[in-house]
C-alpha cells in the first residue's frame, strides 16, 4: 500500500491519513479534500467513510448551492422532538 510522506501531505497543512480495509485514505481537515486509493481493482472498506443523517427538508437559509433541496416549505417529520427525547 502506498503511504504518502509528511513532505507531500503535511500534517501541519491539515492532511491526515488512515487505512480502511484495502483503501488508503488521505483527508485534509482544513478544506475537506479526500483522496482514496487502493492497489487492488476494487475498494473494499471495513467501516463507513461517513454517515449523513437528515432530519428535515425545511430550511430558511436559502443557500443557492443547497445540495439538500431544502426550502422554507420543505417537509419535516410528523412531530416535534422535545428536549427529553433529544437526550435519549
Residues that bind ligand SF4 (CB under 6 A): 59, 61-63, 66, 68, 70
Q: Cα 51 from chain centroid? A: 7
What is the rounded distance in angstroms from the CA atom of residue 53 to the CA atom of residue 11?
A: 29
Closer by beta carbon to ligand SF4, 73 or else 84: 73
Closer by beta carbon to ligand SF4, 38 or else 70: 70
CB of 76 to ligand SF4, least distance (A): 12
CB of 31 to ligand SF4, least distance (A): 17
CB of 85 to ligand SF4, least distance (A): 22
From residue 33, alpha-carbon distances to 13, 30, 69 in Å are 12, 8, 23
Closer by beta carbon to ligand SF4, 44 or else 76: 76
What is the rounded distance in angstroms from the CA atom of residue 69 to the CA atom of residue 71?
A: 7
3-class DSSP state of 53: coil
Amino acid at each position: 500500500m502506498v503511504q504518502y510522506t509528511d513532505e507531500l501531505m503535511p500534517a501541519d497543512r491539515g492532511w491526515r491519513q488512515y487505512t480502511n480495509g484495502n483503501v488508503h485514505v488521505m483527508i485534509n481537515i482544513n478544506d475537506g479534500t479526500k483522496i482514496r486509493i487502493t492497489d487492488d481493482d476494487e475498494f473494499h472498506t471495513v467501516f463507513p467513510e461517513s454517515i449523513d443523517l437528515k432530519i428535515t427538508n425545511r430550511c430558511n437559509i436559502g443557500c443557492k448551492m443547497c445540495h439538500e433541496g431544502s426550502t422554507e416549505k420543505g417537509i419535516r417529520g410528523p412531530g416535534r422532538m422535545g428536549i427529553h427525547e433529544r437526550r435519549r
